[in-house]
Amino acid sequence: MSKDTQGILWEVFIQSKPGQPHRHCGSVHAHDRELALQNARDVYTRRNEGTSIWVVPSNNIVSSSPEDIGSFFEPANDKIYRHPTFYHVPEGITHM
Amino acid sequence: MNSTQLEQNFESKLAKNETIEPKDWMPDNYRKHLIRQVSQHAHSEVVGMLPEGNWITRAPSLRRKMVLLAKVQDEGGHGLYLYSAAETLGITRNELIDQLLTGKAKYSSIFNYPTLTWADIGAIGWLVDGAAIMNQVMLQRTSYGPYARAMVRICKEESFHQRQGYEIMCVLAKGTTEQKAMAQDALNRWWWPSLMMFGPTDDKSPNTANAIKWKIKRESNDELRQKFVNQTQPQAELIGLHVPDKDLKWNEAKKGFDFGTPDWDEFYQVIAGNGPCNKARLTARQKAHDNGAWVREAAASYAKKHMSTVAA
- Percent of the residues in chain B that have a pLDDT greater than 90, as a whole number: 91
Alpha-carbon gap: B208 to the closest alpha carbon of chain A (Å): 28
The tally of CA atoms less than 13 A away on the side-chain side of residue B258 is 8
Residue B40 in contact with residue B100, Cβ under 8 Å? no
Rounded to 10 degrees, the C-alpha dihedral B219/B30/B7/A24 comes to -90
Alpha carbon distance B48, B111 (integer Å) = 6
Size of interface A-B (CB pairs under 8 A): 76
Are residues A4 and B297, on separate chains, in Cβ contact within 8 Å? Answer: yes
Are residues A32 and B299, on separate chains, in Cβ contact within 8 Å? Answer: yes
Cβ contacts of B181 within 8 Å, gap of 6 or more: none
A4 vs B: CB within 8 A: yes
Work out the pLDDT band at A46, boundaries 50, 70, 90: confident
Handedness of CA B77, B80, B81, B82 (dihedral sign): positive
Write the pLDDT tens digit of every residue in B287-307.
999 999 999 999 989 888 886
Q: What's residue A60's pLDDT?
A: 96
A74 vs B: CB within 8 A: no
Are residues A43 and B95, on separate chains, in Cβ contact within 8 Å? Answer: no
Report chain A's mean pLDDT, rounded to a whole number: 89
In chain A, where do the E strands start and end? 8-15, 22-30, 52-57
Q: What's residue B125's pLDDT?
A: 97
Q: What's residue B193's pLDDT?
A: 97
Q: Which of B19, B93, B155 to mutate to test the interface with A (most CBs of A within 10 A)?
A: B93
Q: What's residue A50's pLDDT?
A: 85
Q: What's residue B105's pLDDT?
A: 95
Alpha-carbon gap: A80 to the closest alpha carbon of chain B (Å): 25
Write the pLDDT tens digit of every residue in B79-92.
999 999 999 999 99
Work out the pLDDT band at B14, boundaries 50, 70, 90: very high
- Percent of the residues in chain B that have a pLDDT greater than 70, as a whole number: 98
Alpha carbon distance A71, B15 (integer Å) = 23
Alpha carbon distance B308, B188 (integer Å) = 55
- Residues of B68-105 as b/e, b for ≥16 C-beta within 10 angstroms? beebbebbebbbbbbbbbbbbbebbbebbbebbbeeeb
Long-range CB contacts for residues B69-73, cutoff 8 Å, separation at least 24: B70/B160, B71/B125, B71/B160, B71/B161, B71/B164, B73/A46
Work out the pLDDT band at B309, boundaries 50, 70, 90: very low
Work out the pLDDT band at A1, boundaries 50, 70, 90: very low
Write the pLDDT tens digit of every residue in B248-284.
999 999 999 999 999 999 999 999 999 999 999 999 9
In this prediction the pTM is 0.91
- Integer-rounded Cα Rg, in Å, for chain B is 21
Lowest mean pLDDT among A2-11, A12-21, B77-86, B256-265: A2-11
Q: Which residue of B has its CA nearest to A47?
A: B157
Alpha-carbon gap: A85 to the closest alpha carbon of chain B (Å): 27
Are residues B153 and A25, on separate chains, in Cβ contact within 8 Å? Answer: yes
Residue B42 in contact with residue B79, Cβ under 8 Å? yes
Are residues B309 and A33, on separate chains, in Cβ contact within 8 Å? Answer: yes
Are residues A43 and B23, on separate chains, in Cβ contact within 8 Å? Answer: no
Long-range CB contacts for residues A60-63, cutoff 8 Å, separation at least 24: A60/B310, A61/A11, A63/B23
In 3D space, the residue among B105, B112, B44 whose CA is nearest the CA of residue B79 turns out to be B44
Q: What's residue B2's pLDDT?
A: 80
Are residues B309 and A31, on separate chains, in Cβ contact within 8 Å? Answer: yes
Please report the domains of chain A, with CATH numbers, ordered by start residue.
8-63 (3.10.20.520)
- Is residue B177 scored above 80 in pLDDT? yes
Rounded to 10 degrees, the C-alpha dihedral B146/B220/B7/B32 comes to -60
Q: What's residue B59's pLDDT?
A: 97
Q: What's residue A47's pLDDT?
A: 86
Alpha carbon distance B136, B216 (integer Å) = 12
Question: Strand B256-258 relative to strand A8-15: parallel, antiparallel, unpaired?
Answer: unpaired
- Is residue B311 scored above 60 in pLDDT? no
Work out the pLDDT band at A4, boundaries 50, 70, 90: low
Span B96-111, average pLDDT: 95
Residue B52 in contact with residue B121, Cβ under 8 Å? yes
Count the Cβ atoms, other than its own, within 10 Å of residue A84.
8
Work out the pLDDT band at A95, boundaries 50, 70, 90: confident
Alpha-carbon gap: B238 to the closest alpha carbon of chain A (Å): 31
Q: What's residue A69's pLDDT?
A: 80
Are residues B23 and A32, on separate chains, in Cβ contact within 8 Å? Answer: no
- Is residue A2 scored above 50 in pLDDT? no
Alpha carbon distance B162, B166 (integer Å) = 6
- Is residue A20 scored above 90 in pLDDT? yes
Packing angle, helices B62-87 and B145-173, rounded to 10? 160
Q: Which residues 154-193 of B are in CB contact (within 8 Å) with A?
A: 156-157
Q: Which residue of A has its CA nearest to B79?
A: A43
Q: Which residue of A has its CA nearest to B81?
A: A26
Cβ contacts of A3 within 8 Å, gap of 6 or more: none
Q: What's residue A48's pLDDT?
A: 80
Span B222-249, average pLDDT: 97
Span A2-14, average pLDDT: 83
- Is residue A57 scored above 90 in pLDDT? yes
Q: Which residues 23-62 of A are in CB contact (within 8 Å) with B?
A: 25-35, 42-43, 46-47, 57, 60
- Is residue B246 scored above 90 in pLDDT? yes
